[in-house]
Amino acid sequence: MNDQHWGPTISADIVVIGGGTAGIGFVASLLKRDPSLNITVIEPNAQHFYQPAWTLVGGGAYALEDTVRSMASVMPHQATWLQAAVTDIAADSKHLTLDDGRTVGYQNLIVCPGLRLAWEKIEGLQETLGQHGVTSNYSYQHAAYTWELVKGLRGGKAIFTQPPIPIKCAGAPQKALYLSCDHWLKSGVLNNIDVEFNLAGAALFGVPTFVPPLMKYIEKYNARLAFTSNLIKVDGPAKSAWFEVKDADGTVTIEEKTFDLLHVVPPQVSPDFIKQSPLADAAGWCEVNMHTLQHVRYPEVFGIGDICSTCNAKTAAAVRKQIVVVAENLLALRKQQPLPLKYDGYGSCPLTVEKGKVILAEFGYAGKLLPTFPLDPTVPRRSAWWLKASLLPWFYWNGMLKGREWLTAVSKVD
């Protein structure tokens, strides 16, 4: 097989696809356990982002420049970094092909490239994003534009959207709405603004426990909910957006709505090189056991983070727990021992319902509540805001990416 490739073949004991939260956090944790491991990280980007703070940037509560550092500065120095992208996975022969023609062989593969934001699936969006009142907190380039628009809006129509799941941080689309409305309320202009939240799904939040306290804020801000309404087209200069709306009988109609501010959350998909690989399930995600995170057909492969086929919330908090499970299970596998740990589906969504208060939603598989602290999780708290806006960003850069495993208790396999 090697003769078929232009470049040289690189061999590594453990290859990690992705230098995001999952990739860097995992490598750091694994090297803490065994510094002698030969680990190669494949990541094309020169920058590493702390994406959970982009919601705060869009709400005027965080500095954009504090959400980015160079990839070189966060990459564990014992690991080998290949600044390239994977184009093909030959799982049967344990080889990857890179976009520069090189091939990489592995004993174990950790798949954590994240998901892809499919901006192109909304007609006209790419041409107008970042101008004409069209913005998104899901983009480093545009989160600050959200705040610019929010500060400038004194009246008119503000539309917030949420595409079909899965998406990363399913609470983020409504966090944008809450922080915007809180600013307008405190500025005395909310009564002049018609606020609408268009959701492709049929519920405000996937865990029913948190719907009543969130509805209190929807009512406080006088926002209208448009369920089963999915954004499909934008015309920025005309300030118009089109939605596919499905009624109770399943009949789909197209509705045109005008706006002064449009906050868009793009559809989100598995990267093509995963979707087209033997690792993918029917929907294109890396098909892993929901508890061990080991691939169901290729035992030498594990998945971490947003790329996984698991039904947990795709959040950095989920990754924090998954890292421990995969690190311990991988080392056990390499020693030909039973896999010791299992992931319970834990995810956390700090819902920024107003500037200075957060509802800290923590839950696992099937919506089971998994609160870290012995407090009613449905109550908005200032302490949870401090956790979201101050402690977690600090811990991310100084703890999680350095292999420090804070609040990561996980279950052992029965």
Long-range contacts of 361-367 (CB under 8 A, 24+ apart): 361/171, 361/205, 361/207, 361/210, 362/317, 363/207, 363/209, 363/313, 364/312, 365/290, 365/311, 365/312, 367/206, 367/207, 367/208, 367/209
- Cα 337 from Cα 329, distance rounded (Å): 9
**What gap in Å lies between CA 267 and CA 162, rounded to an integer?**
8
- Strand 80-82 vs strand 39-42: parallel, antiparallel, or unpaired? parallel
Q: At what angle do helices 211-220 and 172-187 cross, to 10 degrees?
A: 30
For residues 128 and 139, the answer to whether their CB atoms sit within 8 Å is: no
Catalytic residue chosen out of the listed positions 181, 286, 308, 349: 349
Contact 109, 300 (CB under 8 A): yes
Reading phi first (left if > 0) and then psi (alpha if -120 to 50, else beta), residue 156 is in: left
Q: Give yes or no: 349 in active site.
A: yes
φ, ψ of residue 299 to 5 degrees: the values are -60, -20
User: Is 286 annotated as catalytic?
Assistant: no
Q: Cα separation of 266 and 358, whole Å? A: 24
**Nearest-angstrom CA–CA distance, 134 and 143:** 11
Active-site annotation holder among 169, 181, 286, 308: 169
Spatial separation of the C-alpha atoms in residues 355 and 56, rounded to whole Å: 9
CA distance 340 to 326: 10
Q: Which residues are catalytic?
A: 169, 349
